A and B are shown apart, each in its own frame.
Chain A
Amino acid sequence: GAGVSQTPSNKVTEKGKYVELRCDPISGHTALYWYRQSLGQGPEFLIYFQGTGAADDSGLPNDRFFAVRPEGSVSTLKIQRTERGDSAVYLCASSLMRESGEQYFGPGTRLTVT
């Protein structure tokens, strides 16, 4: 079956621009997570959705970052006024059963801010 997909795979943008990153989770997975992986680091949690609502957004670094999941499936991570420090790989994961903790990851979107 289809796994988690993310688009685009690569995004290059200029400092100050707005970007949107898309995540298509595995069909039927109610839990969706966004993580950010900087060079040489492990992934860092950004936000968690259960259904349509953001149940935990404690990892978002500041108010330039926002994410939505309006129909409980596809999610979009939005970054306003991008900064060079936002350059990283943004990973999306989905999970069928929250308590099991088994998250399935997409290939990521590599964001480069010039």
Chain B
Amino acid sequence: AQSVTQLGSHVSVSEGALVLLRCNYSSSVPPYLFWYVQYPNQGLQLLLKYTSAATLVKGINGFEAEFKKSETSFHLTKPSAHMSDAAEYFCAVSESGGATNKLIFGTGTLLAVQP
């Protein structure tokens, strides 16, 4: 069975500081991995995805994530936080070659950006 663990339900950074949101996955087959962002009262928006091509994936809004198979991790980073980055971030996994492509989500990390 697949699962995702997001360490840190709340992360607070100062504007301009590095953002690091952690995600570890468990999967018995090569996974597809995703980061979604959810702004208040809005739907989930895809930030980036890993589908077995380059291990360093660049997404929207300056975010990137690196797939590390040896560590079963897919941490999300951004060099310099903006106030507009304040939102909830979800890591998700699906099974490559699976029958449904359903997403298994972590419990989310709420990012606060302090001025």
Contacts and interface: CB of A to CB of B under 8 A. Distances in A.
Interface string B30-46: 00101010000111111
Nearest to B95: A101
Given A100-B51, A101-B49, A108-B43, A48 B100 contact: yes
Contacts of A48: 100-102
Given A56-B99, A105-B44, A107-B43, A45 B51 contact: no
B104 A45 contact: yes
A105 B45 contact: yes
A95 B51 CA distance: 15
B70 to A, nearest CB: 23
A102 B46 contact: yes
A35 B44 CA distance: 11
B21 to A, nearest CB: 13
| Interface band, chain A | 20 to 34
Interface of B: 4, 9, 32, 34, 36, 41-46, 49, 51, 90, 92, 94, 97, 99-108
17 contacts: A31-B101, A33-B102, A40-B107, A42-B92, A44-B105, A45-B104, A48-B101, A48-B102, A56-B100, A100-B51, A101-B34, A101-B101, A103-B103, A105-B36, A105-B45, A106-B43, A107-B41
